[in-house]
Each structure stands twice: as C-alpha cells, then as structure tokens.
C-alpha cells in the first residue's frame, strides 16, 4: 500500500528533528568561532574529522539513483552493476594516494582554480560555467526528481510536494555551510546504512519465507540458486545488459574514466577533503572506500530479491507500470511491503540519501559560482561576508531552478542512473584527460587542455552517432561493438568513453609538443615523489580493501 502510517511519520519526524537539530547546533557552534570566513563556509577548512569526511563523501554520492536505479539494475542484470561501487572503492584509494596530495600541496580549493593555476583563465572559466550547467541541469534536477518519485511511490504524497519538501530541507542544511553538511552527513549515513540494511534483511527474509524457509542466510543462498545468472560480475556478449557493462571493460577500460573522473576531478566530491590536512583527508577517503564495499548489499541485493520473487510468481502486478515491467520499481515495491515503523525507517534512509546529495551538490554550485565566477569576474574586491552571502543566494536560486526544470527533463523516461551517466559521459573522457595530463606531465599546454575539453565533447558525440552512418560490424569480433534489435552495430557506452579518452590524450601530447616547439611555456604544478608516501596504517587499510575486492571478483566472476 502506497502510504505511510502514523508510526512511520513519527519515525521520520524523529529523524528530521535529530538531523535538523544537530545541524543547527553545529551552525551555532561554528558561528562563535567565525561568521565570515568564506573558506570555512565553502570548505569547512580544518574542521572536518576523517570520519566526517568519509561519511560526507558517501552521503553526497548515494542518492535516489542508487537506491532506485541500481536496485532496478540489480533486478535487470544482477550483481554486475555492483562494479560501479566496488571499482569506486579502488578509485578512491588512487585519489587518496595520488590526487589529493597534488591538490593540497598546491593549495587548490576548487576545480576551476586548479585549471586556472595549471593552464589559464580561459580554460578555467569555460569549465566553471560548464560545471555549473551540468550540476544544475543534470545532477541537481535528477537527484531532486528521482528522489521525489521514490518518496511518492512509498508515501503517496504528490511528486510536486515531495520536490518542494526535499528542496527546502536541503536548503536548510546547505545554508549552514560545508561544516554543517559534513557533520550532518554522518547522521544521514547512519540512517542511510541502518535503513538500507533493514530493507535488505527483510527482502532476504521474504525470499526464504516465499520458499517455505526462514533466515537471511537461507534467503541469500536461495538467491544464488534461483538467480545464478545474476551473480556474475563480468558479463559475456550474449548477455542482454552487455552494452551497459561490456565484459572486462569494467576492470581494464572505461569504468576507470567514470570513477576516477567522478571521485578525483569533481568539485562536488573532492570538496570534502580539500579543507583538511593530508593525513585526515586520506583517512576520510579510505573510510569512504570501506563504506563503498557495503553499498551493493544495501542497493543491489534487494533488486535481485525482487527479481527472484517476480520470476517465481510474486510481485507480478506491483512491478508493472502502465502495464509494462519496470525494474526501477523494485526498491519502492519492497519498501511498501515493510512492516509499519520499519517502513518509516526506510523512508528516513531514502530521504537522508537524497537530502545529503542535494545539499552537497548545492554547496559545490555555490562554491564554484562565488569563488570562480563572482569573485574573479563580477566583484574581485568582495569581502568575506559578501562572498558567503552570495553563496547562500546561489544555493536558493539553484534549488528553485532545479524544482522548475526537473519535471521537464524526461528523467523518469530515461532511467535516473542512465540519465546521469549518459550526459556526464559526453564530457568525462576529455575532462579526465585534461586533469591527469595536467597533474603528471609538466609539458601539457593550455591549448592541449582546450582540445581535450571541446574536442573530447565533440568526439563523444561523433562516437554516439557513428553507428547511424557507418557499419561497425568489424569491431564485433573484439567485443567493441554489438548489434542492437535493429541490426545496427553500436559501441558500448564505456568503450566509447575509453576511445575518446585515448584520442584526447594523444591529441594533447601532439598539441603540447607543437606548443613547446613554438616556445610556449606551460605552468607545471609542484609535484615530487615524497608527496605520495603512505603511513603504515593507511597502507594496511589499502591492502585490506584491495584484498576484499579481489576476493569478491574471484568468487563472483
């Protein structure tokens, strides 16, 4: 039944009061120390602990597209979709070892600032404007709309009311600044993980009870027996979902670009660690990597459970939308089957994930606009108080725009996870090439960076529409193309990204070499080998995570 009982509302109210009250207390405590420092507002400079950084990274990352989209993918393709989470854990380790030291050593606080320092103001401004558009038009809108859709499906409250409620709650958290976001995210992650684990526990119990047994261990065993094909991490070409996750590409191809660009070159994410010292930042990122290992248990297993129940005769009508099977209904359907009270907890967990992501994204929008556009181009002599004020206004304006635009974007038709991946995937290869070359090759020129930014986007569009004008069947034998239902050979999305990245890097090397011949000098960053040394405790954590992931891929290959 798509509605909450009074007890569910009480549980949710308890969550709301705790998070809001804690956020207000942090805000008041912070005000006594500083009311004007823009770095404190945007970055919580020096005040986030390692556990707050790690929790905030996960809270900002996990949202409705994971709970709804990845559960739907779990229903459709199984555990393979967990590669986005488990490879993200490895990517976080790489970011902690190699990326964060470069940012902190060079006192970089925003991504456009990095581009300005490494290349020039033109590259920086182009990317600042681009990131603002991407964050508002793609990320903020999709999080808001999918979140409202998810809450509507388990509460019966209208989507419009849900959107306004989520936006207001997120604004309330965001206006307190990065410190309030960081510390309230710790609570958000607690509710997110607790509610998520409860849902998984009950989903596995439902499976065991459906087959006349009891217990979550038995439920998991039944999943592996009844849906054996859903427990393979590496998909073969004959799998219907191969175009989404093309075989070994998830280990040695485009998945690295998706994850390293997201976790290492993304203001929304890196912002959490940029206000800390190296040891604290690394410890926080390592904590986030451990939490990443847990995410498939929370978001993928319930989807597989729903698949098994549906396949064997249960949930036949619940999984339908407008008469057709919709995998994205898997998680909301399971939530609606939860007992009174626990449904309220799961509702709070889902809301926590959505609000934390909205708050984090809105803060990043405010940071980029204020520090990289307003302070540089509109009012260079703006005081600290003025910058914080502009940041708060930006948060409210961005959220209003997202509320207005979200229903017009057709997000529900594309599927939230695919919607975000598709639009960010057009620019990710070029941006990642620009960052990685800028980090580690001092000769990389600003012209090469412009080529990666603009050329990478153009190349992505070319590869997207190439199958319509050229026969790519010759790529099929190598696994880089597969025929669709119309017989047209298409390149899988992740492979497309890999091709664009390689071409971008080659183009950047050639352009940089030509610029050097013309006598143009590049602005190298301060980088030396000692920056990348790891302390024993961090190294032990890295080895443990890599060991767990190796074991998971070995067991579920």
In a domain, 399, yes or no: yes
pLDDT for residue 546: 95
- Look up the CATH number of the domain holding residue 40: 1.20.1730.10
pLDDT for residue 541: 94
In a domain, 496, yes or no: no
In a domain, 460, yes or no: no
The rounded Cα 466 to chain-centroid distance in angstroms is: 28
pLDDT for residue 413: 54
Find the DSSP H helices in 428-531: 428-440, 446-450, 456-465, 493-517
In a domain, 408, yes or no: yes
Residues in the chain where the model's pLDDT stays below 70: 1-2, 27, 30-47, 176-183, 268, 321, 410-423
CB 269 within 8 A of CB 79: no
The total number of structural domains that make up the chain: 1
In a domain, 490, yes or no: no
User: Would you list the DSSP string of 399-413?
Assistant: HHHHHHHGGGTTHHH
pLDDT for residue 545: 95
In a domain, 536, yes or no: no
In a domain, 527, yes or no: no
Cα–Cα distance for residue pair 88/289, rounded to 1 Å:
7
CB 327 within 8 A of CB 303: yes
In a domain, 474, yes or no: no
pLDDT for residue 422: 66
pLDDT for residue 488: 79
pLDDT for residue 212: 82
pTM of the full structure: 0.84
- The label of the residue with tokens 């936006």 reads 167
- Find the domain containing 409 and state its range: 6-219+272-416
Three-state DSSP string of 284-304: HHHHHHHHHHHHHHHHCHHHH
């Amino acid at each position: 039944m798509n509605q909450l009982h009074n007890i569910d509302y009480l549980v949710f109210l308890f969550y709301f009061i705790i998070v809001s009250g804690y956020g207000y207390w942090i805000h008041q405590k912070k005000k006594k120390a500083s009311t004007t420092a823009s770095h404190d507002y945007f970055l919580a400079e020096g005040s986030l602990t390692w556990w707050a950084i790690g929790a905030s990274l996960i809270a900002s990352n996990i949202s409705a597209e994971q709970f709804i989209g990845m559960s739907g993918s779990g229903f459709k393709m199984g555990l393979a979709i967990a590669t986005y989470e488990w490879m993200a854990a490895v990517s976080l380790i790489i970011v902690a070892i190699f990326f964060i030291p470069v940012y902190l050593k060079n006192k970089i606080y925003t991504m456009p600032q990095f581009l300005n320092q490494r290349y020039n103001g033109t590259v920086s401004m182009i990317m600042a404007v681009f990131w603002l558009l991407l964050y508002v038009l793609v990320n903020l809108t999709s999080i808001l709309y999918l979140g409202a859709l998810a809450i509507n499906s388990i509460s019966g409250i209208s989507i419009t009311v849900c959107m306004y409620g989520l936006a207001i709650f997120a604004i309330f958290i965001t206006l307190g600044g990065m410190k309030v976001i960081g510390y309230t995210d710790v609570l958000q992650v607690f509710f997110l993980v607790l509610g998520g684990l409860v849902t998984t526990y009950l989903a596995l119990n439902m499976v065991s009870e459906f087959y006349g047994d009891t217990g979550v261990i038995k439920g998991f065993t039944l999943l592996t027996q009844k849906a054996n094909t859903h427990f393979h991490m590496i998909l073969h070409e004959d799998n219907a979902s191969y175009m989404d996750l093309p075989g070994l590409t998830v280990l040695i191809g485009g998945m690295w670009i998706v994850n390293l660009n997201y976790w290492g070159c993304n203001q929304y994410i890196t912002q959490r660690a940029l206000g800390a010292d190296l040891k604290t930042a690394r410890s926080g990122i390592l904590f986030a990597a451990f939490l990443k290992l847990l995410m498939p248990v929370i978001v993928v297993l319930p989807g597989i459970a729903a698949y098994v129940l549906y396949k064997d005769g249960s949930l036949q009508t619940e999984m339908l939308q407008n008469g057709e099977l919709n995998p994205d209904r898997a998680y909301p359907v399971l939530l609606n089957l939860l007992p009174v009270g626990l449904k309220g907890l799961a509702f709070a967990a889902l809301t926590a994930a959505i609000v934390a992501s909205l708050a984090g994204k809105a803060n990043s929008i405010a940071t980029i606009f204020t520090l990289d556009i307003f302070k540089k181009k509109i009012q260079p002599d703006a005081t600290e108080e003025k910058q914080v004020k502009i940041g708060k206004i930006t948060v409210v304006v961005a959220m209003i725009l997202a509320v207005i635009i979200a229903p017009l974007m057709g997000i529900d038709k594309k599927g939230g996870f695919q919607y975000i991946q598709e639009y960010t995937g057009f620019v990710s290869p070029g941006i990642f090439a620009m960052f990685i070359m800028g980090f580690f090759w001092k000769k990389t020129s600003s012209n090469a960076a412009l080529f990666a930014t603009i050329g990478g986007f153009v190349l992505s569009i070319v590869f997207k529409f190439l199958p319509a004008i050229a026969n790519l069947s010759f790529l099929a034998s190598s696994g880089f193309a597969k025929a669709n239902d119309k017989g047209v050979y298409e390149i899988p999305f992740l492979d497309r990204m890999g091709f664009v990245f390689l071409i971008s890097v080659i183009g950047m090397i050639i352009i940089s070499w030509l610029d050097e011949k013309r006598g143009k000098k590049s602005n190298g960053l301060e980088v030396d080998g000692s920056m990348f040394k790891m302390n024993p405790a961090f190294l032990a954590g890295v080895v443990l995570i890599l060991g767990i992931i190796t074991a998971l891929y070995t067991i579920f290959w």
